[in-house]
Structure 1
Amino acid sequence: MCNVTSECKKLLQPIGRCASVFKRFGSRMVFQNRLRSRSEVPLFMYNGLFGVPELSCPEGFQEAQERSLQETERLVQKACTTPPGKEIVMIFDQLSDALCRVADLADFVKIAHPDFAFREAAEEACRSIGTMVEKLNTDVDLCQSLRKLLADKGVMESLDPETRRVAELFMFDFEISGIHLDEEKRRRAVNLNVKILDLCNEFLIGSHLPNKVDKHILPEHIRHHFAVEGNYAQISGLNADSPDDLVREVAYKVFLYPNAQQLHCLEELLTSRNLLAQLVGYDTFAHRALQGTMAKTPGNANCEICQDKYRLCRLLQEISSTWEERRKLMPWDHPYHSGVLRAERYNIEPSLYCPFFSLGACMEGLNILFNKLLGISLYAEQTEKGEVWCEDVRKLAVVHEQEGLLGYIYCDFFQRPDKPYQDCHFTIRGGRLKENGEYQLPVVVLMLSLPHSTSSLPTLLTPGMMENLFHEMGHAMHSMLGRTRYQHVTGTRCSTDFAEVPSILMEYFANDYRVVNQFARHYKTGQPLPKHMVSRLCESKKVCAAADMQLQIFYAVLDQIYHGKHPLEKSTTEILKETQEKFYGLPYVPNTAWQLRFNHLVGYGAKYYSYLMSRAVASMVWKQCFVQDPFDRAMGERYRREMLAHGGGKEPMLMVQGMLQKRPSVEDFVDALVSDLDQDFETFFMDSE
């Protein structure tokens, strides 16, 4: 996109090796720490969160928000007076960037910052910027400036493909927001969008709140498994890994017990989404949400889901008797007994593996993989005072061997009180080509929930934690390498059913013994993880894969029904019960409402099927491009060129087609998923004989 400037080259010169910045990442550390003088550090890198000077205190969000809105007003006026041409698209992208720089940062801070005042200020900024976005999406004068460009065929033909697509995407945002409606209906659309934003936030908060029960109701011998305050036991999760059947059952029934306020919030959210979709001209919210995705329509999404379900049931029937011999399973049993089954068959007790997966070793493994595949190295960076929100947050510079500095990853990896227990990738700032010819470097956060190191032990990861780390790093590399001209389509700003492809593909690398052998070393002795243990671990992950996929199908179908035809004929809980009985092999438990904890309904509304489609694409890419050699540099460059580099600036199916050298059909997607399961069942029967 642009050459590395002499200033950047100077910044990239490593001055020495220093493991201290990353000492909690394990006993083995390969990252170079690039110590630099203050005069060499760009302004954005210090004074406040993420180097944003205003954000040294919560009140700074108000200042950042006001500056963003002032910049927005200036750019809107400029857009409305600029003649049709490429500059219009650039102005719109600057407008998007001015809003996203505050909204994206605030979206992370409101969830993860340990200081309530910061979270509250960030939440208010999110609401303010979100309201402005909805107003702009129904601004007739602003839309008219873009419409003139799209109507000028001569000018449009002179634009490069990425610029044309970005212009069309901006117009698409206008259309799904109701720009074609009269003034009163546009106002209703804005009000509905704002209401939906508030309901989404309320639902997310409610989905994480614990339920409490009188402690005397619980058998005394299991009370210590839960937090007890006075006469009440607080149940804040499913305790899915507990070996005690009763603990799992109690946690499931109490944590998922219906909450009337949360139930009303969900119903209001689904109703409001449907009203908005119909107001702007769509049959259902699902039709609106799937525009621009690989699936295109709910019909295509459901087609894949139903084919998955049909062929999966055929496979599951082959081993149903084996499961029945073990015991009658309940929903709270599946995660635990899947682990037991894996451990029994392959002897993969986590304590045997954790010593080989120190965080430092795993980070080294990622460094090796990225270097061989993509020519990228990860460097530890020292942070300035106030730049991070917690002292154990670490900062990585992502550096290409020829192109130089690509961006920054903040690693918020460790557990702390009130931190959400979820693994996430957040875009803090999108990359774009700025007006002065320099490239605005992307900034992201990876958030995990890993245990802290101790005086005698580094942070040790279970195999599942290691796989999650690889998954989230897949998102981060997408953000770093999606170096588009426009911020609006940078990195993971693409269709949801394509955004998960790079992260799921990384899971295939994490499950390949040739990759694991590169870094899995005992933190004390340096002994490599024996090959038979690596192979056993990788094979074990295939156990119960069909049951896991059936669960994903159930989630995807439920999501489609909730966002389908309205009004819903039955309550969301009744729909849950019927869908679970039809699409999932384990029974519904009376007086539970699992959907009230399904926070993916917010970010993935009508698009939860994306995990299935993305897994199918990742499976095809792995088998065709990397299974022979996971370190194939030529394939790595092709992967970057065809899939990662474009962000959302190219049709997702065209990116898949470029990588696979063919355009996959729905049947190809289903075949990719089921072929993995067929291999799993072969393993199952061989081991059962």
Structure 2
Amino acid sequence: MHAHTIRNVLAKPAKAHFRFRGCLHAQKSSQRPPLRYATTLSAPAPASPDDADIIADFDLPQAPHRSSILTPTGLFGHSLLTTPASFINLADSTLLRAQLLTRRITNARGSREELFKVVKNLDRLSDMLCGVIDLAELIRNAHPDPSWVQSAEHVYERMCEFMNVLNTHVELYEVLRAVLADPQVVKSLGPEAHETALIFWRDFEKSGINLPPAQRTKFVSLSTEILVLGRQFLNETASARPPAVIKPSELKGLKDKAMGARLRLQAEFTQRDLMVYPGSLQAQMIMHSAPQEEPRRKVYMAANSSTPEQIETLEKLLRARGELARLVGKESFAHMTLTDKMAKSPESVMRFLEALMDHTRPYARQALRILSMRKQEHLHTEPFPTIQAWDRDYYCPPEPPAPPVALPPLTLGTVFMGLSRLFRNLYGVTLRLTEVAPGEVWHSDVRKLEVVDEQSGVLGWIYADLFARRGKPGGAAHYTVRCSRRTDDDDEHGDFAGVRDESVLGTAQPSRRFDALNRTRIPGVEGTFQLPVVVLLCEFTRPSISRGPTILAWHEVLTLFHEMGHAMHSMFGRTEYQNVSGTRCATDFVELPSILMEHFLNSPIVLSLFDVNGNVPIRQPGHHHEDPCRSIDTHTQILLAALDQIYHSPAVLAPRFDSTAALAHLYDARGLIPYVPGTSWQTQFGHLFGYGATYYSYLFDRAIASRVWRKLFLHDPLNRRMGEEYKNEVLRYGGGKDPWEMVSKLLDAPEMENGDAEAMAEVGRWKIEDEVSVPGRH
């Protein structure tokens, strides 16, 4: 989970009601359960010529863009985005239009007709700003040209500064309050418009908009402090820990004999002990391969150490969040944050975590017993010695994910072809490579895919920037550059009512042209829509003449499927308001589509789609044994989610709050592997900043995704009727519909619709795997 995540409002300068939600980096679902099948499976559609084109374009080294376009353009086809200076010009133009639209909204109470347009205009204002900020966020992370990056940083800061002003704009808040207090106006709002209005309302109130001036000033001060402390905390999580001092004699018998020999030679050459830094290849090797316990203990202690300053930074951050919540009348930061999430409250989160822990604990205990038996046999101890934190990887070395059936090497093009075939079977949608004009993309590696519906035509575009290069961020990410929304009822001319200054009208033109691109009418859907544009960033190996095409490891296939789940959520979202489009939904709901995509890789019939000629045999695997240690890892994730709740509870405002003591107490009370005195791992828990009080979300969505997979797709993964039902009941609504209502209807579980604490507990009882081995059977 990293960098371009769903943003907590306080994690970025941009404020909540103009938030630009991204996604979690790919996290792989650990267990791969046995598969069950219906008697009759839906037959896969054959590969198309477009599928073959995808293979060729992604797999041939330095494949040229298939383009007959000679006229140069700017980034994403915007003719005005040809230089870094033009991007700054676009930002200036957008800020002017935003100021005019803000003035129009604040004057709305003077006109009955304008009052009915307030929600639409607030959403337009958000879209206007987010369209530039999201683009700046992408450019500053992906563009190889430092001048472009510098301009993107400048644009990002200026636009976010304006958002900060809007977030505490009393007149905007008062107008929205007038709208929601007017029965006739409220009655005119459809469900999606009403939900959008409530999003703005809740976010205004989270920002302390209705506080007295002195308290509002305090709110702004605390928000700034939280931002500064959060950045400092993240910097410190990435800082190097001091090395462990390892004696060469402690490395005797290393399983990795080659690495062990190199380390001993290094020690003999320098004639001193080895300095092994946490996170290094040597540290990993020692944790996995050193038979003696002492070097593993030393590496563990070094890796989980903290300075007093690092602990102080975290605790200041947690206290500031607690004070901010109290300032707006909430019991804790968790209470403030979870109001608009599926969970609604920290008490409900704990109901979910307790239920999930009750299910997971027996399997984790059994796994620990197996490790204990291995340790007993290894060290010739009394029965069932205690497994310590540094024993886990030695007695149960982590294994890379693997497919459920034997597969030939999978090239990048082959996997994209399989994705296209899967989407065609499920949704009647294909991926089609399209031409890229000169200047349209930021690097020659980038490929452009049209997402094409068999009835509606083009739904949107995916720009795939998939190969590693110097300066490009690591990991995988899904960026929403432009959301879908309805545009034919914008009444944009009303923004310029009373403006006679030709220079103002001229300055506004670049932004108006920027907004007007990629709009279309969709058959069967009323109105004209802005089509979505997303970018996928990965760090796969580039194909070359010497190495041939890019061959993906299985964890990379999982990553690509995960990120494409986010992308298709953006593509299918057909809401009239951008604030609820696609992945702009509740933090604890947004990972459902991406995690569900990973489940399809458990199906041999889905894996057969990777073979363009249909030669891969589809066979049900035999006994699909799972690594028993994965249940230990799941239990650990539950503990971390519980720790996140503790750290954002009222406890942080107690005078003697001690984050290390809280961690130790949690592990002593609920942990399976003993807490190690002298360690303070919490200073490396980077997600405490971006996912404060919502770290449970990934576990929660894993549980829902497993349930959806079992009920809709397990027995017939290519069933078109089920695919259409999932698309129409979940994906198309984004955040425009209560996710509990969507889940309950999709799963035919009306008892879940109200989303109360019992519903949260029920999701915990659903488990997070499709099927877990019975203890004792491995």
Distance across 1 between alignment mates of 2:220 and 2:560: 38
Distance across 1 between alignment mates of 2:678 and 2:211: 43
1:559 alignment partner, one of 639, 644, 651: 644
Contact 2:101 2:121 (8 Å CA) reproduced: yes
2:766 corresponds to: 672
Contact 1:498 1:614 (8 Å CA) reproduced: yes
1:469 and 2:560 aligned:
yes
1:307 corresponds to: 355
TM-score by length of 1: 0.83
Distance across 1 between alignment mates of 2:319 and 2:73: 44
| Mapping for residues 16-31 of structure 1, pairs under 5 Å | 23=56, 25-26=58-59
1:221 alignment partner, one of 257, 262, 286: 262
Bigger Cα displacement from structure 2, 333-342 vs 292-301 = 333-342
Structure with the bigger percentage of helix: 1
Residue 441 and residue 305 in structure 1: after superposition, are their counterparts in 2 closer, same or farther (change >3 A)?
same
1:528 and 2:622 aligned:
no
Distance across 2 between alignment mates of 1:435 and 1:625: 36
User: Root-mean-square deviation (CA), in Å?
Assistant: 3.7
Instruction: Tell me how far 1:241 sits from its aligned partner.
Output: 6.7
1:71 alignment partner, one of 80, 97, 106: 97
1:245 alignment partner, one of 286, 289, 297: 289
Bigger Cα displacement from structure 2, 324-333 vs 495-504 = 324-333
Contact 1:57 1:118 (8 Å CA) reproduced: yes
Amino acid paired to 2:604: Y
2:540 corresponds to: 450
Mind listing any 5+ residue stretches in structure 1 that lack a counterpart? 1-14, 40-44, 226-230
Amino acid paired to 2:653: P
Residue 240 and residue 73 in structure 1: after superposition, are their counterparts in 2 closer, same or farther (change >3 A)?
farther
Amino acid paired to 2:176: L
Instruction: Tell me how far 1:658 sits from its aligned partner.
Output: 2.0
Instruction: Tell me how far 1:425 sits from its aligned partner.
Output: 1.9
Q: Deviations over 1:37-61 (max 9, x none)?
A: 468xxxxx9413x345565454555
2:39 corresponds to: none
2:426 corresponds to: 373
1:402 corresponds to: 455
Amino acid paired to 2:306: P
Distance across 1 between alignment mates of 2:87 and 2:395: 47
Instruction: Tell me how far 1:236 sits from its aligned partner.
Output: 5.6
TM-score by length of 2: 0.75
SS of 1:531 mapped into structure 2 = coil
Contact 2:179 2:186 (8 Å CA) reproduced: yes
Distance across 2 between alignment mates of 1:477 and 1:112: 21
Residue 632 and residue 339 in structure 1: after superposition, are their counterparts in 2 closer, same or farther (change >3 A)?
farther
Bigger Cα displacement from structure 2, 608-617 vs 313-322 = 313-322
Amino acid paired to 2:570: S
Instruction: Tell me how far 1:493 sits from its aligned partner.
Output: 0.5
Distance across 2 between alignment mates of 1:503 and 1:353: 24
Instruction: Tell me how far 1:452 sits from its aligned partner.
Output: 2.7
Contact 2:70 2:437 (8 Å CA) reproduced: no
Contact 1:342 1:540 (8 Å CA) reproduced: no
Contact 1:293 1:652 (8 Å CA) reproduced: no
Residue 259 and residue 319 in structure 1: after superposition, are their counterparts in 2 closer, same or farther (change >3 A)?
closer
2:204 corresponds to: 174
Distance across 2 between alignment mates of 1:548 and 1:168: 38
Residue 155 and residue 401 in structure 1: after superposition, are their counterparts in 2 closer, same or farther (change >3 A)?
same
Bigger Cα displacement from structure 2, 553-562 vs 318-327 = 318-327
1:292 and 2:379 aligned:
no
Instruction: Tell me how far 1:553 sits from its aligned partner.
Output: 0.3
Instruction: Tell me how far 1:602 sits from its aligned partner.
Output: 2.6
2:372 corresponds to: 324
Instruction: Tell me how far 1:68 sits from its aligned partner.
Output: 2.8
- Higher Cα Rg: structure 1 or 2? 2
2:121 corresponds to: 91
Amino acid paired to 2:663: L
Distance across 2 between alignment mates of 1:108 and 1:576: 36
Residue 349 and residue 36 in structure 1: after superposition, are their counterparts in 2 closer, same or farther (change >3 A)?
closer
**Identity of aligned pairs, percent?**
36
Q: Deviations over 1:187-246 (max 9, x none)?
A: 332333334334434444443444565999998934999xxxxx9987666889748535
1:606 corresponds to: 693
1:277 corresponds to: 325
Residue 212 and residue 378 in structure 1: after superposition, are their counterparts in 2 closer, same or farther (change >3 A)?
farther
Instruction: Tell me how far 1:98 sits from its aligned partner.
Output: 1.5
Distance across 1 between alignment mates of 2:576 and 2:64: 30
SS of 1:425 mapped into structure 2 = strand
2:131 corresponds to: 101
1:47 and 2:74 aligned:
yes
Mind listing any 5+ residue stretches in structure 2 that lack a counterpart? 1-47, 252-260, 267-273, 376-385, 490-526, 753-758
Residue 592 and residue 104 in structure 1: after superposition, are their counterparts in 2 closer, same or farther (change >3 A)?
farther
Which structure has more relative contact order (CA 8 Å, sep 6+)? It is: 2
Contact 2:323 2:653 (8 Å CA) reproduced: no
Bigger Cα displacement from structure 2, 398-407 vs 455-464 = 455-464
Instruction: Tell me how far 1:647 sits from its aligned partner.
Output: 0.7
Distance across 1 between alignment mates of 2:699 and 2:133: 29
Contact 1:492 1:648 (8 Å CA) reproduced: yes
1:547 and 2:632 aligned:
yes
Distance across 1 between alignment mates of 2:595 and 2:631: 17
1:158 and 2:158 aligned:
no
Instruction: Tell me how far 1:179 sits from its aligned partner.
Output: 1.5
SS of 1:291 mapped into structure 2 = helix
Contact 1:107 1:126 (8 Å CA) reproduced: yes
2:593 corresponds to: 502
Instruction: Tell me how far 1:23 sits from its aligned partner.
Output: 4.6
Q: Deviations over 1:560-596 (max 9, x none)?
A: 1111112254433333333344444334455554333
Instruction: Tell me how far 1:340 sits from its aligned partner.
Output: 5.4
Distance across 1 between alignment mates of 2:670 and 2:68: 57
Residue 19 and residue 661 in structure 1: after superposition, are their counterparts in 2 closer, same or farther (change >3 A)?
closer
Contact 2:59 2:411 (8 Å CA) reproduced: yes
Contact 2:432 2:449 (8 Å CA) reproduced: yes
Instruction: Tell me how far 1:483 sits from its aligned partner.
Output: 1.5
1:392 corresponds to: 445
Distance across 1 between alignment mates of 2:363 and 2:547: 47
SS of 1:178 mapped into structure 2 = coil
| Mapping for residues 521-670 of structure 1, pairs under 5 Å | 528=616, 531=619, 539-540=624-625, 543-565=628-650, 566-567=652-653, 569-589=656-676, 592-663=679-750, 664=752, 665-670=759-764
Between the two proteins, the alignment pairs up a number of residues equal to 646
Amino acid paired to 2:534: V
Contact 1:258 1:593 (8 Å CA) reproduced: yes
Q: Deviations over 1:599-631 (max 9, x none)?
A: 322322101111122112112211111122111
Contact 2:50 2:432 (8 Å CA) reproduced: no
Distance across 2 between alignment mates of 1:211 and 1:414: 30
Contact 2:418 2:610 (8 Å CA) reproduced: yes
Residue 52 and residue 215 in structure 1: after superposition, are their counterparts in 2 closer, same or farther (change >3 A)?
farther
Residue 188 and residue 570 in structure 1: after superposition, are their counterparts in 2 closer, same or farther (change >3 A)?
closer
Distance across 2 between alignment mates of 1:240 and 1:474: 35
Distance across 2 between alignment mates of 1:461 and 1:124: 37
Amino acid paired to 1:502: P
Instruction: Tell me how far 1:184 sits from its aligned partner.
Output: 2.5
| Mapping for residues 408-419 of structure 1, pairs under 5 Å | 408-419=461-472
SS of 2:431 mapped into structure 1 = strand
Contact 1:16 1:33 (8 Å CA) reproduced: no
| Mapping for residues 358-369 of structure 1, pairs under 5 Å | 358-369=411-422
Amino acid paired to 1:680: V
Distance across 1 between alignment mates of 2:732 and 2:125: 23
Contact 1:510 1:516 (8 Å CA) reproduced: yes
Instruction: Tell me how far 1:299 sits from its aligned partner.
Output: 0.3
Instruction: Tell me how far 1:268 sits from its aligned partner.
Output: 3.2
